[in-house]
């Protein structure tokens, strides 16, 4: 233990108090410290999970980084496919479209695009499927 009083360590003091009421108080304090440590660890882990979930749900610019794994992703395309694949200008700038695209992690698709969809400017993980009751 890190507690020291003059020449005696905390463990030595605890041993001399073994059959007294103070010993049980010391044991209770030690138990509480362990519980607080466990609660802190659990709280830290939950906080990490929340941060991970928030970060997973954010859009990632393809200029910033590409996905780590091959697969399907929700993407934003700079080209507006909903209006015939045009570059519609709006008050807010160029309209964009959402799509689900496959990322293969190679340049086999062509032009170092890595996507089976053109003009991908950002991506994010697909949400989990609905797992409710089937009717």
Q: What is the pLDDT of residues 95-117, one digit of tens each?
A: 777 788 888 877 555 555 577 77
pLDDT surpassing 70 at residue 4:
no
Q: Are 54 and 48 contacting, i.e. CB atoms less than 8 angstroms apart?
A: no
Task: State the pLDDT at residue 1.
Answer: 46
Q: Does residue 128 carry a pLDDT above 70?
A: yes
Q: How far apart are CA 48 and CA 107, in angstroms?
A: 34
Whose CA is closest to 121, among 53, 54, 74, 62? 62
pTM: 0.49
DSSP state of 115: B
Task: Give pLDDT, residue 52.
Answer: 67
Give the tokens for residue 97.
Answer: 């479209």
Place of tokens 């053109």: 118
Residue 2: is its pLDDT beyond 80? no
d(CA 97, CA 87): 10
């Amino acid at each position: 233990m890190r507690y020291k009083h003059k020449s005696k360590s905390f463990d030595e003091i605890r041993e001399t108090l073994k059959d007294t009421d103070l010993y049980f108080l010391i044991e209770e304090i030690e138990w509480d410290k362990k519980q607080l440590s466990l609660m802190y660890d659990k709280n830290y882990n939950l906080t990490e999970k929340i941060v991970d979930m928030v970060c997973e749900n954010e859009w990632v610019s393809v200029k910033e980084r590409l996905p780590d794994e091959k697969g399907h992703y929700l993407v934003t395309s700079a080209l507006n496919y909903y209006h015939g694949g045009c570059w519609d200008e709006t008050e807010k700038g160029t309209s964009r479209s959402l799509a689900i695209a496959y990322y293969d992690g190679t340049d086999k698709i062509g032009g170092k695009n890595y996507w089976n969809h053109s003009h991908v400017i950002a991506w994010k993980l697909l949400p989990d499927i609905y797992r409710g009751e089937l009717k």
